[in-house]
């Protein structure tokens, strides 16, 4: 399945040149649909797009005591 997400130019470039292979995201309804093997199309503010494959992910626990906000780490590979 293909997913679309925006990304700031600086981080977009890091993924594009291979120095950033992990993306942290709030584990909301949209991210719950992502599975290993899926693709994510990142777009920067200039409209440039980059397609990556999800190699794996893991949860990082709660951020706040009063809300169950989960952050997930996605391992990526540029296609």
pLDDT digits (tens, 9 = 90+) for 22-61: 888 877 788 888 888 888 999 999 999 999 888 887 765 5
Which DSSP string do the residues of 10-74 spell out, in sequence order? HHHHHHHTTS--EEEEE--TTGGG--TT-EEEEE-TTS-EEEEEEEEEEEEEESSSSS--EEEEE
pTM assigned to the model: 0.78
- Edge-to-edge order in the sheet of strand 2-6: 2-6, 39-43, 49-62, 70-78, 22-26
Number of structural domains the chain divides into? 1
Residue 73 clears pLDDT 80, i.e. is over it: no
Report the CATH number at residue 62: 2.30.130.30
Confidence of residue 5 (pLDDT cuts 50, 70, 90): very high
- Name the residue range of residue 27's domain: 2-78
Residues 76 and 40: their CA atoms lie apart, in Å, by 9
Query: What pLDDT score does 59 carry?
Result: 67
């Amino acid at each position: 399945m293909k997913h679309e997400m925006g990304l700031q130019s600086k981080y977009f470039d890091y993924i594009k040149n291979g120095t950033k292979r992990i993306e942290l995201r709030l584990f909301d309804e949209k991210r719950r649909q992502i599975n290993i093997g899926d693709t994510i199309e990142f777009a920067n503010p200039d409209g440039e797009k980059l397609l990556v494959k999800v190699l794996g992910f893991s949860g990082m626990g709660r951020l706040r005591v009063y809300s169950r906000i989960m952050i997930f780490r996605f391992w990526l590979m540029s296609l």
